Every structure is written in C-alpha cells, then in structure tokens.
Amino acid sequence: MSAQTPACQLLERYYGERSTLLPIVPPQDDWLIARSMAMISDNVALRALWQAQGRAAFSPFDSAIALPDSLAAPIVLFWPKAHQLGAWWLDWLCHLLPEGSAIEIVGEHQGGIKRVPKLLEARNMACDKLDNARRCSLFATRSVKGDAPDAAWTNFSAEGLMLVSHPGVFGHGKLDDGTRLLLATLEERLPASPQRVLDMGCGDGIISAWLATRGHHVSAVDVSAFAVSACRRTLDANACEGRVVESDVYSALAGERFDLIVSNPPFHQERDITYGPSARLIEQARDHLTPRGQLVLVANAFLPYSDLLDRAFGGFEVLADDRRFKVYRAAR
C-alpha cells in the first residue's frame, strides 16, 4: 500500500515502508493509518477510522491522553490550512510533551508550510529542513515548555449574541453571510411554538444560540471538537441551554428525531471541495425527522444540492436567494 496524499507521500519517501509514526491532525490516508502507533485529532470521524484499525486515537480535549510509554516513533504534526490553528497545535504539543521532545512538521506549500520556519524562530525553536517533495516540506524541531494555548479563543458579537470562536472553526471571528441569510429566513418562517431542533455542523454555535434564545429545544453536533467546545462556550456566554456533541453527521444520533434540522453545511476539507458530509446530511435527514419535520439549509448558490434534495425528499422549495446563497426547505 502506498501513500495517497502528498504530505504522506513525502513521509513515505523520507521514512520508508517500515516507519511507525505518531501523527497529529493527520489527513485520511490508509498508508498512514497502517503506520501509526496512535493519533491525535479534533476530528471525530478521523479518530473513528484509526480506532477501527485498532489504533489509539485521542482528542486534544481528552482529560488524559495516554500516549505510548515510548515516544521513539516520530511525532508528526500535519500543518493545517489555517495558520493560527497550526500555531495552536504547535503550542499545545509543547505544553503536552517533555521539553526537548522531537516534533516534525509536514505540509503542502499551498497550505502555508513555508511560514513555519519564521513561526519556530519566533518561539526560539530549532528548525531543520529534512526533505522537500510533492510540493510539500518536512521540518524538524524540538519542543520548548509553555503554557496551555488558551489565548486562541476569541469573542465577538453578532445578531445580538456573544459568540466564542477558535481558529479552524467555520466562520472564525465573523458571521458568515450565508448564515446571516439563513437566520433572517428562519425569523420569518420558523413556528413560534417550541420546536425540537438539530443544528447540524454547529460551528461556533451562532445558530444554536439564536434558536435557544427563541425558546426552541436545541441539539447541536459537529465533527470537530473545537467547534463543539466553541458552541458550548457560546451557549454559556448567552445563558442558553442546549446539548452539544461530537458527531460525524448523524453518527451520534441513532434513533433520534427532530421537528427541524437546520444547517449551513461545509463543503471544504482543507483546500479540497467535498460533498460527502452534505450528501449524508440530506440523504439521511428523513430518518431523523418527525412526521411533519423539515430540513432547512443554506448553501452557496453554485453547489449541486437541488438533485440531492429531489432524490431524498421528492421535492423542495427555495425560501431565499440573494444570488450568492440559497436557503432550501424540504419536508418529510
């Protein structure tokens, strides 16, 4: 089995076939899973893939991360597209690991890896370039002891709410225009009586908090542990109640049904466009709606959700269209 993603192809070239690694926020790559002793990621779907192959997988918010006794396997941080998020992961590793622990950092040139040497220099960390191939680079450094990186959390106001955000969470630090259109549409269309609502892909929790302040019973899910934590913090900041859980689309919601499913679904995974999670959101929605339940979602106007909604529901309507975004409604 050969590596599939460019960063993993560089690692395969550098370490060879017998390598055993400890990847941090890795991409989905079967070659890497086979060569991992454990992994750490905020993404619950990726953690499930590693666990299915008998590998330990941890969230950065786990109270006790049980790394192997021996750290002989190289710790490899996969540099994310969001530079601030990469800096958070680096600071988090420095806090977690004994001082002087070896850390290697890999990433694509188009994903910002070229900025890493300056970031390391600013932290008085060593920087050695190990390899360069497949438009990726691999750097080596050693940890310096530091405090937990809590400063990455930021607050901002939108729609009369206080939102708590973290680098890497959708809409970090600002209200997305599509979400703004969705909320304006819901203000006109949502029944006044309390509804049991699912916020799918909750991000920083703007939709959940907006719904909760209007008396609805909110459940919120996201694949990212950062988003789940941000949503919980946003609900707390606005004295709102709601249940927030990590879930790969509906994976944590077996047997549950809602009067309304609301979503601004993602279609990017790092720099790649992917419709997989959005397709599952639509295709499986009927199984999680009450008999008169509705799915309401907002999406960029160019995205091909019309066919998915037609196949899943046999029809839909467009509630709003500002030429950039469309708000769709489909009923069970």
**Does 234 lie in the same domain as 194?**
yes
Q: What DSSP state is assigned to residue 36? A: B
Residue 235 structural domain:
153-331
Q: What is the Cα–Cα distance from 109 to 122, expressed in whole angstroms?
A: 20
Q: Would residue 19 count as lying in a domain? A: yes
Q: Would residue 159 count as lying in a domain? A: yes
Query: Quick check: helix, strand or coil at residue 270?
Result: coil
Q: Which of 82, 116, 149 is the last residue of a domain?
A: 149
Q: Would residue 90 count as lying in a domain? A: yes
Asked if 106 and 10 count as a contact pair (C-beta separation under 8 A), the reply is yes
Amino acid at 273: I
**Does 183 lie in the same domain as 217?**
yes
Asked if 145 and 94 count as a contact pair (C-beta separation under 8 A), the reply is yes
What separation in angstroms does the CA of 65 have from each of 39, 98, 139, 161?
Answer: 10, 14, 25, 34
> How many domains does the chain fold into?
2
Asked if 109 and 85 count as a contact pair (C-beta separation under 8 A), the reply is no
**Does 185 lie in the same domain as 110?**
no
Considering the entire predicted model, what is its pTM? 0.93
Q: Would residue 1 count as lying in a domain? A: no
pLDDT for the residue numbered 267: 64
Q: Would residue 238 count as lying in a domain? A: yes
pLDDT for the residue numbered 40: 96
pLDDT for the residue numbered 43: 97
Q: What is the Cα–Cα distance from 47 to 41, expressed in whole angstroms?
A: 7
pLDDT for the residue numbered 171: 82
Give residue-wise pLDDT tens across range 109-126.
Answer: 999 999 999 999 999 999
Q: Would residue 106 count as lying in a domain? A: yes
Low-confidence residues of the chain: pLDDT under 70: 66-72, 267-275
pLDDT for the residue numbered 270: 47
* Alpha-carbon dihedral sign for residues 275, 50, 42, 116: negative
pLDDT for the residue numbered 70: 52
Asked if 286 and 315 count as a contact pair (C-beta separation under 8 A), the reply is no
Q: How far, in whole angstroms, is CA 279 from its chain's centroid?
A: 17
Q: What is the Cα–Cα distance from 276 to 218, expressed in whole angstroms?
A: 24
Tokens of 160: 């009369």
pLDDT for the residue numbered 268: 46
Q: Would residue 320 count as lying in a domain? A: yes
Residue 153 has, within 13 A of its CA and on its CB side, a CA count of 16
pLDDT for the residue numbered 65: 79
Please name which of 265, 262, 228, 266 lies closest in space to residue 246, comparing C-alpha atoms. 228
Q: Which of 131, 149, 167 is the last residue of a domain?
A: 149
Asked if 108 and 6 count as a contact pair (C-beta separation under 8 A), the reply is yes
Residues 6+ apart with CB under 8 A from 177: 324, 325
Give residue-wise pLDDT tens across range 193-217.
Answer: 999 999 999 999 999 999 999 999 9
DSSP 118-140: HHHHHTT---EEEEEETTEEEEE
Q: 157 has which bridge partners?
A: 162
Asked if 57 and 50 count as a contact pair (C-beta separation under 8 A), the reply is yes
